[in-house]
Structure 1
Amino acid sequence: MDINHIQSAHCESGVIVNMLAYNGLKLSEPMIFGIGSGIFFIHLPFIEVNGVPVSNFRIWPGGIFSRSMKLIGAKVKTQKFRSVQKSMDVLDELLSKKIPVGVMCSVYYLPYLPDAYRFHFNAHNIVIWAKEGDEYIVGDPTLSEMKRIHKDDLAKARWAKGFPEPAGKLYYVEKMPEDTPELKDAIRRGIKRTLFLIKSAPLPFIGVKGICYLAKKIEKYPEKYSERKALLALGNLIRMQEEIGTGGGGFRFMYAAFLKEASHLLNNEELAKLSQELTGIGDRWRDFAYRVAKIIKNRGSAQDNYQSIARYLEEIGQSEIAFFKKLGKVKL
């Protein structure tokens, strides 16, 4: 197998970039992220992971893969399993046919990662390129070079407990399109689906309005939680924003890069202008993370600290609402 590992900003879109490149189709990561409708927001106060509420800045795991592959005309397969052994046997069979395989796993059980990055997060994506003895050759898109992992460690990572539960999930390309994909149509359809998902959700904690919903929740953290749990909740938020994949700011930067690339392909100057606007919103997300980190570092729990960052997050949310309204008015 001729392996050319491509480092990427985000795990799932990075896996797709590597799979497509192996199969002879070179697309940028922002293009994959954009046509796959990757940008999103959701805050789930009623679901806790590691004892704190869940927030996510991208579409659900697997969504970018299924959507982007559909729009470029590739035939793919995704499987989950009921037994560890079956999941490993199917992986080995695919590798024996020289088919690179994407797997969803927990970063906690990946020994090649530094200890600081190993915690209970079950939606990481990596490419398994080959098997040599009891080890697998791994392409982790967030790293600059390939790694090796023992079969027992990989099995643990693929069968970690918690939310979401990987259940041995794997996915791969069965057949590539015979003709070069029509990216213009994929771009239009990808943007329209993104607008539907991020603007049309009927619940207040889903889509762009969920950002303002979270802001109201943060303002009440000092009343609702102990000092320790309030700080943990803030810490988990910026970890999800800035460390898991590319985070809040990073996902906005990536979608901005997609809009810029799309503006050239569609010859649409409005998309180029909106790309610049979204880059500015991404900068504000990064500034929000910096402000939250200062609160955590100082271990301050004064109400005005939480009120201040809540107001700033509300402003970001209103900026995103306005941005996607403008995007929805662009003639594609």
Structure 2
Amino acid sequence: MKIDFEHRQSAHCESGVTSNLLRQASGGKITEPLAFGIGAGLFYAYIPFISINNGPAIAFRTMPGWIFKRTCKSLGIPVVRKKFSSREQAETYLNDRLNEGQPVGCQVGVYYLSYFPKEYRFHFNAHNLIVYGKEGDNYLISDPIMETPTTLTSYELERVRFAKGALAPKGQIYYTKFEGEISDDRIRQSIKSGIKRNVFNMLSIPGPFSGVKGIRFTGNKIKGWRDKLGLEKAKLYLAQLVRMQEEIGTGGGGFRYIYAAFLQEAYAYLPQDELLEISKQFTTAGDLWRTAAIHAAGIYKGRLGSQQDFDAMGNYLLEIAEIERKAFIALKNIKWRT
């Protein structure tokens, strides 16, 4: 069984899966940046009381699954989502959908993905891919971050669908059921609601750990890591920051670049000059995240390591926090003309 499905490489797994699954339903209108922005994908959180890979939990995007859920809900597209306790039931359900000609999204663990380079495999269970067919014992896989389609054996796919640990996918499968047309007016309204949600998430969530406050909180914490944790553990914490940005994110603050592209594409539906100007601010933030990652790599690889180096790293994040704060305030203050 092989579904007529076009693989397209994307910058990020979930926004890529979302745009690829919605391509037919939207007539190609919903691109990856639009899916990311409508789904309010941009975020930041530093959660010191949750440990992942022996470091603090750090996120550069919203919770797994929310981009797909929010985008579809905003566009009026019904979603089917299932989790399973039985591996046999999970495989049967997947095969039934493929036999119906339905490509499906799956949440999987990264560690056992055989087509990933070994240096990119570690215990992270919120990766997303599309299954679009089966030939013999091989499932046909469209992983949006890969250049070409690939395959997984039935054993390999089961293993990653039922990976253990934090954010365990539990065989999660999701897809859309939609017959109709998505109007440009519906897309315009969805763009505005996505921006409104992202503004709230980055500016108004209470507490110091999330949004621009979370970036500022992390910057100040980094300045004290060397003395509080010792150099070696502080280096591991910085490695965690870069890993979550570069390997689980899209590289060099790539989520900020995707959001900048979203605002540029939004301009075609809502032609207000503010969107283009604010887009430039997010590109600047993405560039600075990249610079910060390079500086952090210098520390955890031992080329740098003084207190001044940690102070400089912290100051990068404080500067980023201010850039993103101003950008989201500017988005909040837009007076929509349509």
| TM-score with structure 1 setting the length | 0.96
1:78 pairs with one of 81, 92, 116: 81
Corresponding position: 1:166 with 2:142? no
Equivalent in the alignment of 2:232: 228
Q: Distance in 1 between matches of 2:272 and 2:41?
A: 21
8 A Cα contact 2:98 2:133, kept in partner:
yes
Equivalent in the alignment of 2:322: 318
Q: Which ranges of structure 1 fall in alignment gaps of 5 or more residues? A: none
Equivalent in the alignment of 1:3: 5
Letter of the aligned partner of 1:2 in structure 2? D
Equivalent in the alignment of 1:119: 122
Q: Distance in 2 between matches of 1:262 and 1:7?
A: 21
CA shift for structure 1 position 106: 0.9
Equivalent in the alignment of 1:254: 258
CA shift for structure 1 position 227: 2.8
CA shift for structure 1 position 270: 0.8
Equivalent in the alignment of 2:268: 264
Q: Which ranges of structure 2 fall in alignment gaps of 5 or more residues? A: none
Structure 2 counterparts to residues 190-209 of structure 1, below 5 A = 190-209=194-213
8 A Cα contact 1:218 1:310, kept in partner:
yes
Equivalent in the alignment of 1:12: 14
CA shift for structure 1 position 288: 0.7
Q: Distance in 2 between matches of 1:203 and 1:103?
A: 32
Corresponding position: 1:283 with 2:314? no
* 4+ long deviations beyond 6 Å: none
8 A Cα contact 1:72 1:177, kept in partner:
no
Structure 2 counterparts to residues 295-310 of structure 1, below 5 A = 295-298=299-302, 300-310=304-314
| TM-score with structure 2 setting the length | 0.94
Aligned partner of residue 286 in structure 2, secondary structure: helix
Q: Deviations over 1:105-128 (max 9, x none)?
A: 111111011111111111100000
CA shift for structure 1 position 269: 0.5
Structure 2 counterparts to residues 16-95 of structure 1, below 5 A = 16-23=18-25, 25-26=27-28, 27-95=30-98
8 A Cα contact 1:57 1:247, kept in partner:
no
Q: Deviations over 1:221-276 (max 9, x none)?
A: 11232433221211121121122241562111111111111123211001111111
8 A Cα contact 2:26 2:181, kept in partner:
no
Paired residues, what number?
332
Larger displacement relative to structure 2 (288-297 or 37-46): 288-297
8 A Cα contact 1:56 1:240, kept in partner:
yes
Q: Deviations over 1:277-319 (max 9, x none)?
A: 2111111111111111111222543222111111221111122
Structure 2 counterparts to residues 208-223 of structure 1, below 5 A = 208-223=212-227
Equivalent in the alignment of 2:246: 242
8 A Cα contact 1:138 1:146, kept in partner:
yes
Aligned partner of residue 301 in structure 2, secondary structure: helix
Letter of the aligned partner of 1:93 in structure 2? D
2:140 pairs with one of 137, 140, 163: 137
Q: Distance in 1 between matches of 2:117 and 2:308?
A: 36
Calculate percent identity across the aligned residue pairs.
43
8 A Cα contact 1:235 1:296, kept in partner:
yes
Q: Distance in 1 between matches of 2:312 and 2:179?
A: 50
Q: Distance in 2 between matches of 1:69 and 1:148?
A: 27
Aligned partner of residue 208 in structure 1, secondary structure: helix
Letter of the aligned partner of 1:16 in structure 2? T
8 A Cα contact 2:50 2:56, kept in partner:
yes
CA shift for structure 1 position 24: 5.7
Aligned partner of residue 127 in structure 1, secondary structure: strand
Letter of the aligned partner of 1:246 in structure 2? T
Aligned partner of residue 107 in structure 1, secondary structure: coil
Q: Distance in 2 between matches of 1:260 and 1:19?
A: 22
Instruction: Decide whether aligned partners of structure 1 residues 226 and 161 sit closer, same or farther in structure 2, where only a CA change above 3 A counts.
Output: farther
Aligned partner of residue 8 in structure 2, secondary structure: coil
Supply the RMSD in Å over aligned alpha carbons. Answer: 1.5
